[in-house]
Amino acid sequence: MSTEAPGPAAPSDALLSVRDLSVVYEPAGADPTFAVENVSFDLRRGEFVGLVGESGSGKSTLGFALTRLSKPPARISHGRILFDGRDIASIDSEALREQRQGGFAMVLQSGMNALNPVRSIRNHFFDVFKAHGHVPHDRREQRARDLIGKVELPAATLDRFPGELSGGMRQRVSIALALSLEPQLMVFDEPTTALDVLVQHAVMNTIRDLQKSEGFTAVLISHDLGIVLEATERVLVMHEGVIVEDGPSSQILSNPSADYTRMLLSHYADPRAEIVSLPGFEDRSIRRDQGVSRSALASPEHAPTVVTRSISTAQESIVVKGVSKTYPPPRRGEQPVRAVRDVSFTLEPGQSLALVGQSGSGKSTIAKMITGVEKPSEGSISFGGLDVAKLRRGQLRDLHSNVQMVFQDPYAALNPLHTIEYTLMRPVVNFTGLKGDDARHRVRELLDTVGLTPVEQFAAKLPHELSGGQRQRVVIARALASDPQVIIADEPVSMLDVSLRAGVLALLEDLREKWGVSLLYITHDLLSARLITDNIMVLHDGAVVERGETAEVLQRPTDAYTVALLDAVPNPARAHGAT
Partner 1 sequence: MKYALRKVGLLILTLWAAITLNFFLPRLMPGSPTDAAIAKLSQNGPVTAATRKAIEIQLGVPDGNVLEQYLQYLKQVVTLQFGISYTFYPQPVAELVSQALPYTLILVGLVTIVAFVCGTLLGVLAAWKRGTWLDALPTLGGSFASAFPYFWTALLLLFFLGYVFKIFPTSGAYGVTNTPGLNAAFLGSAAVHAVLPAVTILITSLGGWILGMRNTMISTLGDDYVTFAEANGLKPRTVALRYAARNAILPNLTSFGLALGGVVGGSVLVETVFGYPGIGYLLLKAVTNQDYPLMQALFLMITVSVLLANFLVDILYGVLDPRTRK
Partner 2 sequence: MTTTPLNPSAETVPVDDTLLAAPGPWQVITRVASTIWSNTKARIGVIILLLFVVVAIFAPLLAPYDPSATTFARSQDASAAHWLGTTAAGEDVLSQLIQGARISVFVGFVAGLLSTAIAVLIGLSWGYVKGWGADVINFVVNLFLVVPGLPLMIVIAAYLQNGGIGMIILVVVITGWAWGARVLRSQTQSLRGRDFVTAAVFSGERPARIVFREILPNMTSLIVGNFFGAATSAILAEAGLEFLGLGDPSTVSWGTMLFWAQNSNALLTGQWALLFAPGLCIALLATSLTLINFGVDGLSNPRLRESRKAAK
Ligand X SMILES: Nc1ncnc2c1ncn2[C@@H]1O[C@H](COP(=O)(O)OP(=O)(O)OP(=O)(O)O)[C@@H](O)[C@H]1O
What residues make contact with ligand X under the rule CB under 6 A? 25, 27, 33, 35, 53, 55-61, 73, 109, 223, 327, 330, 337, 339, 357, 359-365, 524
- Contacted entry of Mg ion, partner 1, ligand X, none for residue 524, CB cut-off 5 to 8 Å set by kind: ligand X
**Cβ partners under 8 Å of residue 386, min gap 6:** 395, 398, 399
| Nearer residue to partner 1 within complex by CB, 8 or 29 | 29
Examine residue 423 and tell whether it contacts Mg ion (CB under 5 A). no
Show contacts with Mg ion in window 346-385 (CB under 5 A).
364
For ligand X, the closer CB: 11 or 336: 336
55/251 with CB nearer Mg ion: 55
**Residue type at 152 in one-letter notation:** E
What Å distances lie between residue 391 and 167, 370, 400, 476, 518, CA to CA?
Answer: 36, 11, 11, 25, 21
Q: How far is the CB of 407 from partner 2 (least distance, A)?
A: 5
Q: CB nearer to Mg ion: give 36 or 447.
A: 36
Angle of the 468-480 helix axis to the 498-515 helix axis, nearest 10? 20
User: Of 11, 27, 248, 336, which lies in the binding site for partner 2, with binding defined by CB under 8 A?
Assistant: 27
Q: CB nearer to partner 1: give 177 or 522.
A: 177
Beta strands in 434-563 (DSSP E): 486-490, 518-523, 535-540, 543-549
Dihedral angle, C-alpha 570, 575, 578, 579, nearest 10 ° = 20
Minimum CB distance to ligand X smaller for 349 or for 360? 360
Is residue 252 within 8 Å of residue 229, measured between CB atoms? yes
Query: Using CB distances below 5 to 8 A depending on partner kind, what does residue 60 bind out of partner 1, partner 2, Mg ion, none?
Result: Mg ion
The nearest distance, CB 529 to partner 1, in angstroms, is 32
Q: With respect to ligand X, which residue has the nearer C-beta, 29 or 117?
A: 29
Binding partner of residue 58 among partner 1, ligand X, partner 2, none, CB under 5 to 8 Å per kind? ligand X
475 binding partner (options Mg ion, ligand X, partner 2, none; Cβ < 5 to 8 Å by kind) = partner 2
Binding partner of residue 181 among partner 1, ligand X, Mg ion, none, CB cut-off 5 to 8 Å per kind = partner 1
- Contact at 8 Å (CB) between 239 and 57? yes
By CB under 8 A, tell whether 418 contacts partner 2.
yes
Site for partner 2 in 384-403 (CB under 8 A): 397, 400-401
How many of the other CB atoms lie within 10 Å of CB of 96?
16
Cα–Cα dist 255/574, whole Å = 16
Q: In whole angstroms, how close is the CB of 397 to ligand X at the nearest point?
A: 22
* By CB under 8 A, residue 482 contacts partner 2: yes
By CB under 8 A, is residue 306 in contact with partner 2?
A: no
Q: Which does 547 bind (CB under 5 to 8 A by kind): partner 1, partner 2, ligand X, none?
A: none
Backbone angles phi, psi at 276, to 5 degrees: -120, 115
Q: Rounded to an integer, what distance in angstroms lies between the CA atom of residue 124 and that of residue 112?
A: 15
Question: CA of 387: how far to CAs of 281, 349, 361, 369, 371, in Å?
Answer: 37, 17, 24, 11, 11
Minimum CB separation of residue 107 from partner 1 in Å reads: 8
Q: Please, which residues bridge with residue 472 across strands?
A: none
Beta strands at 86-87 and 318-327: parallel, antiparallel or unpaired: unpaired
Which residues of this chain interact with partner 1, rule CB under 8 A?
67, 69, 71, 93, 97-101, 105-106, 108, 110, 113-120, 127-128, 130-132, 161, 163-164, 174, 177-178, 180-181, 331-333
Give least dist CB 283 to partner 2, A.
33
Which among ligand X, partner 2, partner 1, none contacts residue 127 (Cβ within 5 to 8 A by kind)?
partner 1
560-567 and 197-214 helices, crossing angle to 10°? 50
Dist. CA 126–CA 103, nearest whole Å? 18
Q: Which is nearer to Mg ion, 60 or 535 (CB)?
A: 60
Residue type, 530: R
| In the complex, least distance from residue 413 CB atom to partner 2, rounded to whole angstroms | 4
Q: How far apart are CA 103 and CA 522, in angstroms?
A: 43
Helices and strands in the chain, H and E counts? 21, 20
State the binding partner of 362 from partner 1, partner 2, ligand X, none, CB within 5 to 8 A by kind: ligand X
Least Å distance between CB 73 and ligand X?
Answer: 5
List the single partner that 161 binds among ligand X, partner 2, Mg ion, none, CB under 5 to 8 Å by kind: none
Could you tell me which stretch among 23-31, 155-163, 179-187, 522-530 binds partner 2 (CB under 8 A)?
A: 23-31
| 60 binding Mg ion? (CB under 5 A) | yes
412 contributes a contact to partner 2 by CB under 8 A: yes
**For helices 420-427 and 436-449, angle between their N-to-C axes, nearest 10 degrees:** 110
- Nearest Cα to Cα of residue 432 among 481, 480, 383: 481
Longest dimension (CA), the chain: 79
Q: Which does 117 bind (CB under 5 to 8 A by kind): partner 1, ligand X, partner 2, none?
A: partner 1
Q: What is the DSSP string of 356-423?
A: E-STTSSHHHHHHHHTTSS--SEEEEEETTEEGGG--HHHHHHHHHHEEEE-S-TTTSS-TTS-HHHH
518 binds partner 2 (CB under 8 A): no
Q: In angstroms, what CA-CA distances link 76 with 27, 64, 309?
A: 14, 10, 55
CB of 116 to ligand X, least distance (A): 22
365 binds, among Mg ion, ligand X, partner 1, none (CB under 5 to 8 A by kind): ligand X
Output b/e per residue, 192-215; b: 16+ Cβ within 10 A.
bbbbbbbbbbbbbebbbebbeeee
User: To which H or E segment does residue 513 belong?
Assistant: helix 498-515
Contacts with partner 2 by CB under 8 A lie at 26-29, 72-73, 371, 373, 397, 400-401, 404-405, 407-409, 412-419, 423, 426-427, 430-431, 462-464, 475, 478-479, 481-482
Contacts with Mg ion by CB under 5 A lie at 60, 109, 364
